[in-house]
Amino acid sequence: IPLKNRRWFSDPPGHRTRKSRLVTKDGHCNIEFGNIEYSNHFAFVVDFWTTFVEIRWRFVLVLFVATFTGSWFMFSLLWYWIAKSNGDLTAQNQTEEHVRCIDNVNGLTTAFLYSLETQTTIGYGGRALTGHCAGTVALIIIQSLVGVFINCFMCGIILAKISLPKKRAKTVTFSNTAVICLKKGSLCLLIRVANLRKTLLIGSQIYGKLLRTTTTPDGETIILDQLDVDFMVDAGKDNLFFVCPLTLYHVINRSSPFYELSADTLPLQDFELVVFLDGTAESTSSSCQVRTSYVPQEIQWGYSFLPIISRTKTGKYRVDFSNFSKSVRVTTPHCVHCFETDGDQRTPNKENHINQLKLGIDNLGFQVIDIPDPVDVTKM
């Protein structure tokens, strides 16, 4: 659907509503799923590894404690059953010729201690197999293998959660607000982004999505309609050299979704600008994505960011993050149409000036003097 055929929803003048974000300032998505069929819930169980990696740390710790404690207790019941079947318990009558399967396992408590010592390979020496029962040999092999599997699984989950790429995204920050001002002769929307680590994000790309509610010419209402918003820096928009904070800008022209806005209508709009930064961490080679969003009340028309990069006397470059999100009021056109109208009025004067430079300008102080032809005195 062409951009001009879509109608924006805006609040009436004087009416202020609290905008519910789809993406929070720290990048979390504010969305929930309802009426999911039971069969779809089973898919989370099938993909158990991703489910365990994405759950919260509190549940991981509970799973860690429950898994190990539960396995020790389950195997202690098996050791207790073997000891009871063989007559090794204290309450059972034992003869002098009685041969034990496990030494010093006289009850459920000692069976649990023996299970713990076996799976954690502690081996204090007080409780041990006698080797007279074949079932105990098979059970100790099974418990050792199960213990190794649980150790690998839990260590893998903890390591995967620690090394999640979204943790790297915590050290990339965006400015709290966006600004609209003139840049290189065009009206632009500017935001700032900074990498707080000295390690680079390789292959960084920046782009945006404008989320809003629109109506089509057919009367259909589209909630969370997405439009592309291109951002760039002076060196381009791909493969950013992300060694210092960058000021990203979007040119507001006829193809921009902000073309119809003005300084007065901007606070009344109902949209959300989501900005994405994709890159690969230099130290871990893991891909990560950083997200943030801006609502109309967080976009300042007629402001520009304060400079933050300076050079010290020792030759080092210094970044002052105290001015990272600060802005100052600058002269800015009221709307894009006003800026284009003023540009059209200046164009004829500029063309006349260029023609005058080409044709020349009469100098009133210049006097025309007739210079006679020189006499030819050359003789043959």
The reported pTM is 0.67
Q: Specify whether 172 is located in the same domain as 290.
A: yes
Average pLDDT over residues 300-324: 88
Q: Specify whether 257 is located in the same domain as 205.
A: yes
The CATH code of the domain that includes 213 is 2.60.40.1400
- Site of tokens 């997405």: 226
Query: DSSP for 239-260?
Result: EE-TTS-EEEEEE-STTSTTTT
- Asked whether residue 210 is assigned to any structural domain, the reply reads yes
User: How many domains is the chain built from?
Assistant: 2
Q: Which residues, 6 or more positions from 310, have their beta carbon under 8 angstroms from its beta carbon? A: 317, 318, 320
Length of the chain: 380
Higher-confidence residue of 95 and 48: namely: 48
Closest C-alpha among 214, 241, 253 to residue 343: 253
Segment holding 313, helix H or strand E: none
- Asked whether residue 260 is assigned to any structural domain, the reply reads yes
Which amino acid belongs to residue 236? G
Q: Specify whether 150 is located in the same domain as 173.
A: no
pLDDT-derived band at 7, boundaries 50, 70, 90:
very low
Q: Distance between CA 261 and CA 229 in Å, rounded?
A: 15
- Asked whether residue 19 is assigned to any structural domain, the reply reads no
- Asked whether residue 154 is assigned to any structural domain, the reply reads yes
Q: Domain of residue 61: give its range.
A: 40-163
- Asked whether residue 75 is assigned to any structural domain, the reply reads yes
Q: 348 phi and psi, to 5 degrees?
A: -60, -40
Among candidate residues 163, 189, 223, the one where a domain is terminated: 163
Helices 57-86, 108-119: axis angle to 10 degrees equals 120
Average pLDDT over residues 137-164: 91
Q: Specify whether 234 is located in the same domain as 264.
A: yes
The CATH code of the domain that includes 136 is 1.10.287.70
Q: Specify whether 154 is located in the same domain as 223.
A: no
Q: Distance between CA 88 and CA 160 in Å, rounded?
A: 45
Q: Specify whether 260 is located in the same domain as 134.
A: no
Q: Specify whether 150 is located in the same domain as 186.
A: no
Provide the H-helix boundaries in the chain: 38-46, 48-54, 57-86, 108-119, 134-162, 165-169, 336-359
Which of 110-114, 301-305, 371-375 comes out lowest in average pLDDT? 371-375
Closest C-alpha among 223, 227, 205 to residue 213: 223
CB 187 within 8 A of CB 333: yes
Among candidate residues 142, 163, 184, the one where a domain is terminated: 163
Q: Specify whether 205 is located in the same domain as 308.
A: yes
Each residue's pLDDT tens digit, 9-41: 444 444 444 457 888 888 888 877 777 666 566
| Whether pLDDT at 132 is above 70 | yes
Q: Specify whether 112 is located in the same domain as 197.
A: no
- Site of tokens 């098979």: 138
Q: How far is CA 86 from CA 74, 99, 282, in A?
A: 19, 8, 61
Q: Specify whether 159 is located in the same domain as 179.
A: no
Supply the Cα-derived Rg of the chain in whole angstroms: 38
Each residue's pLDDT tens digit, 243-278: 788 888 999 988 899 998 889 999 888 899 999 988
Q: Distance between CA 143 and CA 225 in Å, rounded?
A: 56
Among candidate residues 138, 163, 188, the one where a domain is terminated: 163
- Asked whether residue 277 is assigned to any structural domain, the reply reads yes
Q: Specify whether 50 is located in the same domain as 185.
A: no
Q: Specify whether 83 is located in the same domain as 68.
A: yes
- Asked whether residue 20 is assigned to any structural domain, the reply reads no
Query: DSSP for 325-346?
Result: S-EEE----SBHHHHHHHHHHH
